[in-house]
Amino acid sequence: MSAMATIQLAGAPLVARRGSAKKASKANRRAMRCNAATAAEVEGKVISYPFVKLVGQEELKLALILNVIDSRIGGCLIMGDRGTGKSVAVRALSDLLPEIDVVEGDAFNSSPTDPQLMGPEALEAFKAGLELTWAKMKVPMVEVPLGTTEDRICGTIDIEKALAEGVKAYDAGLLARANRGLLYIDEVNLLDDSLVDVVLDSAAGGWNTVEREGISITHPAKFIMIGSGNPEEGELRPQLLDRFGMACNIATIFDQKQRIELVKNRMAYEADPEAFAASCKAETDELKAKISAAQKILPNVTMDRDLALKISGVCALVDVDGLRGDIVVTRAAKALVAYEGRDVVTEDDIKRVIGPCLSHRLRKDPLDTMDGSFKVMLGFNKVFNGSALKDFSAAMEEGVKDPEEEQRKEEEAKAKEEAAAAPKKAGAWGGLPGFGR
């Protein structure tokens, strides 16, 4: 008779079987379904706006895709005007991810084969040589509400049950539910800083530890951290900004053709979400396959040592604190190369990702009106193309401005001059004797 071990959880029990035991009964299997799987099934009924139908915002879409290819990049911070599709893009991203294998009845979305992705109960059963029952589920997409508390994020321990029964009864929080998936914070700049610290610490380390009254539980919390917000409502502290791998500043689309296409797509989606998603299924499947192939290519991507030295040179030149910038640029460049089906990083690859990777890490000067991405590109041109700028430091002191901003100011000044030179109407101050001369 095969042995069966049941490990206590705050929710459904986790069932493990030794060797090639018989399959559990249908009733038992229904009891083992965890809350995460149920939530995934409910979520699956809501059809998200297709990622491939997002109009414009190419930098944002690329940053999200690169984070999916390599989750070690560190997530993405999206700041921009209201109504620019920040939340829509993030929710659409989850549909691009393939289904994952999870241990049935496990609150941490544990992998049935990888010990590094197992919760404490599944890991204990795995080490004991027990065969874990598993099932496929959609990659979890967990949203953190603004009114949440630290206990809700980290999870709680039932002290009374621990003292009375001698078991660690853990009620999984949002970090546990987001393991091996996406964790999204809308209006991250309005969330309490202490809560943002907790989430970012777990995202960076990949583990969450809960300690209450001498009882400690540690579980994996490996997820892609994505935050969004409107800069008009407040900024994030520099210490928190640095914890995000990439950052994108998006603006309202003013191109008339793109706006018309966007409105047309949105109306079609709202009229019949299922039909709209089906109409672009081929494009979505193609993008999924491309991302899956990139994840397989990624370990084989190489970068020349000279390029790595130049990346460090740019980071030093623009005064980026710490080493996160160097690491993230390298990882993002390799992910981009894998996404395009290549295996060697080039200078152009670095140029395409270095702005979103470093712009939010620069030291803030209230008197400096230069855009962060433009300053990063100045540093890039100086290091990679020495002749582009003869003296970067001199350029900083002179206050080099964004060319588009300078052109706009020139056009405004020219318009004012033309208005001043125009003849004044009778009765206007400029038409009176002694005025306008």
DSSP SS3 for 99: coil
Active-site hit among 17, 91, 180, 324: 324
207: exposed, middle or buried (C-beta count within 10 Å: 0-12, 13-18, 19+)? middle
User: Measured between alpha carbons, how far is 272 from 299 in angstroms, rounded to an integer?
Assistant: 41
Q: Would residue 324 show up in a list of annotated catalytic residues for this protein?
A: yes
Q: Which DSSP letter does residue 425 get? A: P
Write out the H or E segment, with its range, that includes residue 184: strand 182-186
Q: Distance (Å, rounded) from C-alpha 337 to C-alpha 297? A: 9
How far is 210 from 197, CA to CA, in rounded Å?
Answer: 15
Measured between alpha carbons, how far is 427 from 425 in angstroms, rounded to an integer? 6
The DSSP annotation for 33-92 comes to --HHHHHHHHHHTSPPPPGGG--S-HHHHHHHHHHHH-GGG--EEEEE-TTSSHHHHHHH
User: 57 with 69: CB under 8 angstroms?
Assistant: no
Q: Give the number of other Cβ atoms within 10 Å of residue 318's Cβ.
A: 25
Angstrom distance (rounded) from CA 136 to CA 342: 31
Q: How far apart are CA 19 and CA 414, in angstroms?
A: 82
Q: Letter for the amino acid at 388?
A: A
Catalytic residues: 324
